[in-house]
């Protein structure tokens, strides 16, 4: 039965149903314009029928990073074609969709507005439910695109803009255990890569340079070593690596520093995650421990290797998204939308684009890791 048209000025209650769904997902939070069609079956199985990503790397490369205005304009220019391509690749018609899911934040708000507006237009024109998805929740669920991971699980969400540990009890039920107090791990990768003269995006370039390097050649700081809790800090590493990079003269020296930086980031992720694992295991004494790493940095081979070993050592089943779904994509947004739809959690067409949107809003408000600005606490 086709969904009924929704009131654009309300958040309509929808009866929870888990009979399976076909959802179009749209993602425009940063520098990828993406659309995907995902089928979620009643038994929880997931099929990615299409996943189309248009990268803006070439447009931003001359600037060494993402320029928000360029990103927003590029989204506007390509969003219609990307959505059409995703629908064609999926072999689906708009009349077959059960809902439209679009990233509503956090991210570059100009870009978020483009994708969210496209989702609203489709929902209004077709009389479909709209699901405004938290981009971070998309990452949190992304590993479920490759494996049927049961709730709850311990999540390390690590990307260019975010680095946090969370207990994920279900859709919309995340509790923050730790977060970065300054830079994210992916941000450190990118900025250190820039000091080494590597092209944008810096993280993959640094990983490639590090192959065969000696990670022990240069002493690098171990931030927060021995400190209670599960917070992260990468600003000291970033500064120390930049100072070393200034005096390097040979390719071998640059390779060794890249290897050292990669090892240092993986080490800190492991050290702080180990603390969260201990606390999480104490809270879940019956077993069934599951650990998920997601986000762009989850694509780094050394990070995966170290965290996989840590999980095995502490009795956790280890999960990570397929590499195609580590970086920003719309399949994870479609899946988050499908899971929300199954629980009757839909949005009104008045849903706002949010530059900041913590997964654990209560923790962000009561114990912010950054001083809140006029738009609220950072994720």
Q: What is the CATH number of the domain that holds 246?
A: 3.30.420.40
3-state helix, strand, coil in the chain (%, to 5): 45, 20, 35
Residue 127 backbone phi and psi in degrees, to 5: 65, 35
Residue-level pLDDT at 17: 55
Residue 30's contacts (CB-CB under 8 Å, 6 or more residues apart) are: 66, 71, 107, 108, 111, 160, 161, 328
Residues 94 and 231 in one domain: no
Is 377 inside a domain boundary?
Answer: no
Beta strands 290-294; 317-319: pairing state: parallel
In a domain, 98, yes or no: yes
Phi, psi dihedrals of residue 185, rounded to the nearest 5° = -65, -45
Which residues partner with 36 through β-bridges?
A: 25, 51
**Does the residue 355 lie in any domain?**
yes
Pair 68, 132 in one domain: yes
16 assigned to some structural domain: no
Instruction: Please report whether residue 292 resides in a domain.
Output: yes
Which residue carries 């992720």 as its tokens? 269
Cβ burial of 55 (10 Å; 0-12, 13-18, 19+) is middle
281 in any annotated domain = yes
Mean pLDDT by 10 residues, the chain (379 residues): 39 58 97 96 93 92 88 96 98 97 96 98 98 96 94 95 94 94 94 93 95 97 89 95 95 98 97 96 92 96 97 97 95 98 95 92 71 46
Instruction: Determine the Cα–Cα distance for residues 334 and 232; give it in Å rounded to an integer.
Output: 30
Q: What is the pLDDT of residue 256?
A: 98
Q: Are 379 and 358 in contact (CB under 8 A)?
A: yes
Domain boundary among 320, 351, 373: 320
Report the pLDDT value the prediction gives residue 65, as an integer from 0 to 100: 84
DSSP state of 55: E
Helix 68-90 / helix 109-126 crossing angle, nearest 10 deg: 30
Do 257 and 135 lie in one domain? The reply is no
Same domain, 273 and 161: yes
Residue 286 lies in a domain: yes
Asked whether residue 4 is domain-assigned, the answer is no
314 shares its domain with 346: no
Burial of 52 (0-12, 13-18, 19+ CB in 10 A): buried
- Same domain assignment for residues 356 and 247: no
Q: Could you tell me if 153 and 130 lie in one domain?
A: no
Work out the angle at residue 363's Cα, subtended by the Cα atoms of residues 182 and 275, and round it to the nearest 5 degrees.
65
Beta bridge partners of 53: 34
Residues 334 and 313 in one domain: no
Question: 294 and 197, same structural domain?
Answer: yes
3-state SS record for 253-268: HHHHHHHHHHHHHHHH
152 plus 68 within the same structural domain: no
Instruction: Establish whether the linkage from the previous residue to 106 is cis, with ω within 30° of 0.
Output: yes
pLDDT at 242: 94
| Same-domain check for residues 259 and 125 | no
**Do 199 and 272 reside in the same domain of the chain?**
yes
Domain count across the chain: 2
Q: Which range marks the domain in which residue 285 is found? A: 147-320
Tokens for 292, please give them: 């998920």
């Amino acid at each position: 039965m086709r969904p009924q048209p929704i009131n654009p000025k309300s958040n309509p209650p929808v009866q929870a149903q888990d009979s399976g769904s076909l959802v179009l997902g749209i993602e425009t939070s940063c520098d990828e314009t993406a659309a995907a069609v995902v089928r979620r079956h009643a038994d929880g199985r997931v099929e990615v029928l299409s996943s189309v990503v248009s990268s803006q790397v070439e447009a931003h490369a001359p600037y060494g990073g993402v320029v928000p205005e360029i990103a927003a304009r590029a989204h506007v220019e390509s969003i219609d074609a990307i959505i059409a391509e995703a629908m064609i690749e999926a072999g689906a018609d708009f009349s077959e969709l059960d809902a439209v899911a679009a990233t509503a934040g956090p991210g570059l708000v100009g870009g978020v507005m483009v994708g969210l507006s496209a989702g609203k237009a489709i929902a209004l024109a077709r009389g479909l439910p709209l699901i405004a998805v938290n981009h971070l929740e998309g990452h949190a669920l992304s590993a479920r695109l490759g494996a049927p991971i049961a709730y709850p699980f311990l999540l390390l969400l690590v990307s260019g803009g975010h680095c946090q540990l969370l207990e994920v009890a279900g859709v919309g039920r995340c509790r923050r255990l730790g977060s970065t107090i300054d830079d994210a791990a992916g941000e450190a990768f990118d900025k250190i890569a820039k000091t080494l003269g590597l092209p944008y995006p810096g993280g993959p370039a640094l990983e490639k340079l590090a192959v065969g390097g000696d990670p022990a050649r240069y002493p690098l700081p171990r931030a927060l070593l021995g400190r209670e809790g599960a917070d992260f800090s990468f600003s000291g590493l970033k500064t120390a690596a930049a100072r070393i990079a200034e005096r390097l003269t040979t390719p071998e020296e640059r390779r060794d520093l890249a290897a050292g930086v990669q090892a240092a980031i993986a080490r800190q992720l492991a050290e702080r995650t180990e603390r969260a694992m201990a606390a999480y295991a104490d809270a879940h004494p019956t077993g069934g421990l599951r650990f998920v790493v997601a986000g762009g940095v989850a694509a780094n081979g050394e990070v995966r290797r170290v965290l996989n070993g840590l999980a095995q050592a502490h009795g956790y089943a280890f999960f990570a998204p397929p590499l195609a779904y580590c970086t920003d994509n719309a399949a994870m947004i479609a899946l988050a939308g499908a899971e929300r739809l199954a629980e009757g959690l839909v949005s009104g067409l008045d849903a706002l684009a949010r530059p900041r949107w913590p997964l654990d809003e209560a923790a962000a408000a009561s114990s912010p890791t950054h001083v809140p600005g006029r738009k609220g606490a950072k994720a």
